[in-house]
Amino acid sequence: MRELSLNILDIAQNSIAANASLIRIEVAEDTEKGEMRIVIGDNGQGMTPEQTQRVTDPFYTTRTTRKVGMGTSLFKMAAEMTGGTFNIRSQANEGTKVTAVFKTRSVDFTPLGDMNSTISLLIAMNLHIDFIYRHSVDGKAFTLQTTELKQILGDVPLSEPDVVEWIKSYVGEQTQIIHGGVLHENNRRTQRYQRKSKSNHDR
């Protein structure tokens, strides 16, 4: 079964190909309603109305590197199979926003999957792009912004292995917290990162 995190990765790759300098990814879970809302937005080159209408066709893509574009169509199908909805809005030279709502109690609901790896990979492989990732569960939320990380780390690139590992761990730990999990000893890895970040900042 394909994880939704892979669909999110595909959509974000579309944003990267559209020369976006900022990509926002938001996951909002409402356990009472049994819904998960996923939004991927960018400030890229956008699409014409005709392209926007055709983008969910699996045999159509705005990319020149491949003939068949499956990411958006699979994302749409995954949402609608649960009884949810899918919407895409785009404007040339303004950007694109994709919104999918999933009914999590449906037998056809696909798990969110490994967002830890998805977010850390996107950040590490696209240093010229700023990312904002927000995940909420019933009002409890955390946000990761690369602009803040860059300010803290200074000359240390976000592709540095220790930083990539911290980002991956941070997303996983914060996801656990908002789902009601308890972390022990305030997480040693996060504490080491914070001490290292402060040391770099003070230099």
Per-residue confidence (pLDDT) for residue 153, from 0 to 100: 94
Per-residue confidence (pLDDT) for residue 182, from 0 to 100: 60
Q: What is the CATH number of the domain that holds 61?
A: 3.30.565.10
Per-residue confidence (pLDDT) for residue 195, from 0 to 100: 53
The answer to the question of residue 153 being in a domain is no
The answer to the question of residue 30 being in a domain is yes
- Domains held by the chain: number: 1
Instruction: Tell me if residue 141 falls in helix, strand or coil.
Output: strand
Per-residue confidence (pLDDT) for residue 61, from 0 to 100: 52
Strands 95-103 and 35-42, bridge-based pairing: antiparallel
For 98, the token pair is 């994709």
The pLDDT profile of the chain, 203 residues, written as one tens digit per residue, is 579 999 999 999 999 999 999 999 999 999 999 999 999 999 999 988 888 877 766 555 554 443 334 578 889 999 999 999 999 999 999 999 999 999 999 999 999 999 999 999 999 999 999 999 999 999 999 999 999 999 999 999 999 999 999 999 999 999 999 999 865 444 445 445 555 555 555 55
For residue 41, the enclosing domain spans 4-113
The answer to the question of residue 124 being in a domain is no
The answer to the question of residue 16 being in a domain is yes
Per-residue confidence (pLDDT) for residue 73, from 0 to 100: 87
pLDDT in tens, 67-100: 334 578 889 999 999 999 999 999 999 999 999 9
**pTM here?**
0.84
Q: Locate all alpha helices (DSSP H) within the chain, ordered by sequence.
A: 4-17, 49-54, 71-81, 115-125, 146-153, 161-178, 188-202
